A and B are shown apart, each in its own frame.
Chain A
Amino acid sequence: MSTSDTEVPQALADAEGARVANFLACYGTVLAAVAIFIAFSLASNRFVSAANLGNILVQISVLMVVSSGLTVAVASGEFDLSVGEVAGLSGVLAAGMMVWAKLPVALAILAPVACGTAIGLVNGFLVTRLRIPSLIATLAMGPIALGANYAYDGGDSIYATFPESFYYIATGRLFGIIPVPIVIALVVVAVFYVLLNRTRIGRAIVATGANIQAARLSGIAVDRCRVLALALSAFGAAMGGIMLTARLGTGQPGAGEPYLLDSLTAVFLGMTAFKPGRATVQGTLVGVVIIGMLDNGLNLLGAPFYLQNEVRGVVMIAAVSLAVLRGEIRFF
């Protein structure tokens, strides 16, 4: 047998191996999500019931909205560490506007969303004009938003009965079947997906995040993209905060805070899927679903409460370390 005869099959095997590796790189996290789904389905007969699957989707709806917004910021190469505080602020603002200011529900939703988005614009200004790294600018903006939150409600929860139409956001069912929070979350996710993947500005945001110098040299207004991305991130957080208030039925000053770490976890998990190393809305969605399934499945199994933290951490390390070892993700 000649050398060339042995090289061809070897090359084919290498190519096949590369294809498999590439497939696993793109869909490994999705496969992990499927594996988690199957594992919980086998372990608990209640996990796959329609009621429980709906339950999971409702539970992750707020996180889905907050994380989708954060994905846009990360896709543009920026971090937004103020999402939790912005969510908390918009939630209490909505509650206060309905209870104290007696504003109509629509206005009590729009005003906090506008306020949250304005905070995102200020973040963008700090990052692009004052050249403060987004990590620091948004880290500083978090306490400012929290301070505004406490100034507004005195650190107290806003307890009252809201108009029924507001509760519809959390407990309503479209056509009597589909929970409204799922619909809202899917609409927001779809809008962000289309924005990032099907619009010029979205592609510009992604290009800015991929290589800011190259994007600038290509004529992209990178600063405008970064400002917009941070504004959209805060918009998502504000929307999530309002959904959370409707779910809780009260304005809770500290309710938004856990969403920072959860949404970062979802985005980083998402960066290991589909387009490794890049923040994508579809990837983040997979991350959110994994988090939701882990929390719900472990609860159904009656696992010790501390196991949720352990398992979530292990899944995060496993997913990200594989991607980092393959050189697909580089943080900082």
Chain B
Amino acid sequence: MENDTQIPDFASRRALLQGLGLGAAALAGPKLAQFALGSTPARAAEGKPVKLAVVAQQMAAQSDQRAWAGFQQWLKTTGLDKTWQVTQTDAKGDPGALVSQIEDAITAKSDAIMVLFGTLTAAHSALADLERSKIPFFSLDSGWQAPALADITSNNWVMGGAFGQYMVERLLADGKQKANICAIIANFHHGTRKRGKVMKAILGENEWISLKAERVIQYQGFFETTQNAVNDWLTRFGDELDAIWCPWDEPAMAAAEVIQAHKLEHKVFVVGCDGHPTALERMRNPDYPLVATCAQAFELWGAYGGWMVNEIVGKGRSAKEVVPVPTVDFPAPLLVKGVNIPPAGKPTYDATDLYYIYRDRAVAGMKG
């Protein structure tokens, strides 16, 4: 078995986190696939041309765009863009359309199908059709469901713990013995739902933090809904509020905007998740209320998805060998404003996780 199939241990995860030139490789283009995926253009070209159908749940989302960009970069870097036939559809957030588009890809006799950020638990009839069709099926952050060979994602339990616990520590650092927070809840996606559950578990262990209010949002119109909810909370609780927990960066930015409009940026902070470039760009401003996020490697997921399709479908390698466990979790470093936000232009997945900074200090000290 080749070692390039997985990131098997802690050290190599760290290696990926720290980049070791991954950022430069991404910027340099041709090295991305070679370094991150162990797939050189020459090796990639050994495979047969693949007819791949990519079905996106919501191309308007930054995560979909970034994963798609990563996939395209991988395709170009490997030279497979000249031979592969790739079609892309967008369900525009409609779960019924997602099912139909998967069915269309089956009818079109695609060699492989890859779903981006779908809700596979809401694609029952399409999954049944996929099972019958035997077409190799891959997904990105869609919550693994059979018959998917792999779902590429981050570990949402871990991320929820990372930025949720950071919120607690930040409140402690601010000298709080009693704290009030509000939360935006998004249950429509498996990842954001899991992060919300972790947040509730963290609060259960920290009873000095009171969850004053929460607002469940749907994807449609989430930015405005979040702004309105936060506006109402700030009107209702004023400066009694200490923090706002958001399930991902885009509502976190919406919350931050409202906090700034109320001139409460030095009183109320926000935590989010995803590490979107826009959010990080704003976090470089010392007065911005969004203080922590986890940087998901969406571009790498797209590239890794392409690599897996090529290994299994293009080169005919055993799926079990390429994907030993069906969920492929990529690391997502915890980024904190003023501590480890990467400089502008550097890929967010190339940043060093907050806790690895502690570790590096310790290791450096031990080595002398």
Instruction: List A residues at the B interface (Cβ < 8 Å).
Output: 44, 46, 49, 51-52, 55, 58-59, 62, 150, 154-157, 159, 167, 170-171, 244, 246-250, 252-255, 257-259, 295-296, 299-300, 302, 304-306, 308
Q: B107 and A55: CB pair below 8 A?
A: yes
Q: Is the CB of B104 within 8 A of A171?
A: no
Chain B residues near A59: list those with CB within 8 A. Answer: 100, 103
A156/B216 in contact, CB under 8 A = yes
Given A52-B107, A62-B96, A249-B124, 18 more pairs with CB closer than 8 A = A44-B108, A46-B108, A154-B187, A155-B216, A156-B216, A157-B122, A159-B121, A170-B125, A171-B128, A248-B123, A249-B127, A257-B220, A258-B92, A258-B96, A258-B97, A295-B104, A296-B100, A302-B108
Q: Do residues A296 and B104 form an inter-chain contact, with CB atoms below 8 A? A: yes
Asked if B159 is an interface residue, CB under 8 A from chain A, the answer is no
Contact with A along B52-63 (1 / 0, CB 8 A): 000010010000
Cα–Cα, bound, A46→B108 (Å) = 6
Q: Does B228 contact A (CB under 8 A)?
A: no
Residues of A within 8 A of B188 (CB): 155-157, 252-254
Min CB gap A51→B, angstroms:
6
Contact B122 A255 (CB under 8 A): yes
**Interface pair B99/A299, CB less than 8 Å apart:** no
Q: How far is the CA of A171 from the CA of B95 in the complex (A)?
A: 16
Residues of B within 8 A of A52 (CB): 107
Question: Does B329 belong to the interface (CB within 8 Å)?
Answer: no
Cβ B108 vs Cβ A299 within 8 A: yes
Most buried by A among B87, B88, B96, B187: B96
Of listed A44, A49, A156, A171, residue having the most chain B CB within 10 A: A156
Q: Which of B89, B107, B124, B185 contacts A305 (CB 8 A)?
A: B89
User: Which B residue sits closest to A292, measured CB to CB?
Assistant: B100
The number of chain B residues with a CB under 8 A from chain A is 39
Asked if A300 contacts B107 (CB within 8 A), the reply is yes
CB interface residues, B 116-148, toward A, < 8 Å: 119, 121-125, 127-128
B-side contacts of A302, CB under 8 Å: 85, 87, 108
Task: Answer whether A254 and B123 are a contact pair too, CB < 8 Å, given A156-B193, A305-B88.
Answer: no
| B104 and A300 contacting across the interface, CB-CB below 8 Å | yes
The 7 closest A-B pairs by CB, nearest first: A249-B124, A302-B87, A155-B216, A305-B90, A299-B104, A156-B187, A248-B122
Q: Check B122 against A250 for contact (C-beta < 8 Å).
A: yes
Cα distance A248–B105 when bound, in Å? Answer: 17
Indicate if the CB atoms of B193 and A305 lie closer than 8 Å: no
Task: Knowing A248-B123, A300-B107, say if A254 contacts B218 (CB, 8 Å).
Answer: yes
- How far, in whole Å, are A62 and B90 apart by their CA atoms in the complex? 20
Q: Could you tell me if A155 and B185 are in contact, using CB atoms closer than 8 angstroms?
A: yes
> Contact between B95 and A150 (Cβ–Cβ < 8 Å)?
no
In contact, A247 and B85 (Cβ under 8 angstroms): no
B317 within 8 A of partner (CB): no
**Interface residues of B, Cβ cutoff 8 Å to A:** 56, 59, 85, 87-90, 92-97, 99-101, 103-105, 107-109, 119, 121-125, 127-128, 185, 187-188, 193, 216-220
Known contacts A300-B107, A305-B59, A306-B90: A171-B216 contact under CB 8 Å: no
CB atoms of A254 and B96 under 8 A apart: no
Q: A55-B103, A62-B96, A306-B90 are in contact. Are A252 and B122 (CB under 8 A)?
A: yes
Q: Which residue of A lies closest to B59 (CB)?
A: A305
What chain A residues lie within 8 Å of B193 (beta carbons)?
156
Query: Which residues from chain A contact B128 at a C-beta distance below 8 Å?
Result: 171
How many angstroms from the CA of A248 to the CA of B103 in the assembled complex? Answer: 13
Would you give the shortest CB distance from A297 to chain B, in whole angstroms? Answer: 9
How many Å lie between the Cα of A252 and that of B188 in the bound state?
Answer: 8
B61 CB to closest chain A CB (Å) equals: 13
Contacts of A51 in B (CB 8 A): 107
Q: Which residue of B lies closest to A160 (CB)?
A: B121
Question: Is the beta-carbon distance between A250 and B104 smaller than 8 angstroms?
Answer: no
A213 to B124, CA, bound (A): 49
In this complex, which of B107, B123, B217 has the most chain A Cβ atoms within 10 angstroms of its Cβ? B107
CB distance from A27 to the nearest CB of B (A): 28
Chain A residue contacts of B109, Cβ below 8 A: 46
- Nearest-neighbour CB distance to chain A for B231, whole angstroms, equals 19
Residues in chain A near residue B108, CB distance under 8 A: 44, 46, 299-300, 302
Asked whether, in the complex, the Cβ of A247 is within 8 Å of the Cβ of B105, the reply is: no
Of all chain B residues, the one with the shortest Cβ separation from A309 is B92
Q: List 20 A-B contacts (CB under 8 A).
A: A44-B108, A46-B107, A49-B107, A150-B216, A154-B187, A154-B216, A157-B188, A247-B96, A248-B123, A248-B125, A249-B124, A252-B122, A252-B188, A254-B188, A254-B218, A254-B219, A295-B104, A299-B89, A305-B88, A305-B90
Known contacts A156-B193, A157-B187; decide if A255 and B125 are in contact (CB<8 Å): no
CA separation between A104 and B92, bound complex, in Å?
34
Q: Which residue of B lies closest to A162 (CB)?
A: B124
How long is the Cα–Cα vector from A154 to B215 in the complex, in angstroms? 10
Residues in A with CB closer than 8 Å to B123 are: 248-249
Least Cβ–Cβ distance between B115 and chain A, in angstroms: 14
* B218 / chain A contacts, CB cutoff of 8 Å: 155, 253-254
Which residue from A156, A295, A304 sits with its C-beta under 8 Å from B100? A295
Residues from chain B with a CB closer than 8 A to the CB of A44 are: 108
- Nearest neighbor of B86 in chain A, beta-carbon distance: A302
Whether A155 contacts B187 by the Cβ 8 Å rule is yes
Q: Are B119 and A157 in contact (CB under 8 A)?
A: yes
Residue in B95, B105, B122 whose beta carbon sits within 8 Å of that of A299 in the complex: B105
Residues of A within 8 Å of B101, CB to CB, are 299
Separation of A255 and B188 alpha carbons in the complex (Å):
11
Report the minimum CB–CB distance from B33 to chain A (whole Å).
23
Which chain B residues lie closer than 8 Å to A171 at the CB level? 124-125, 128
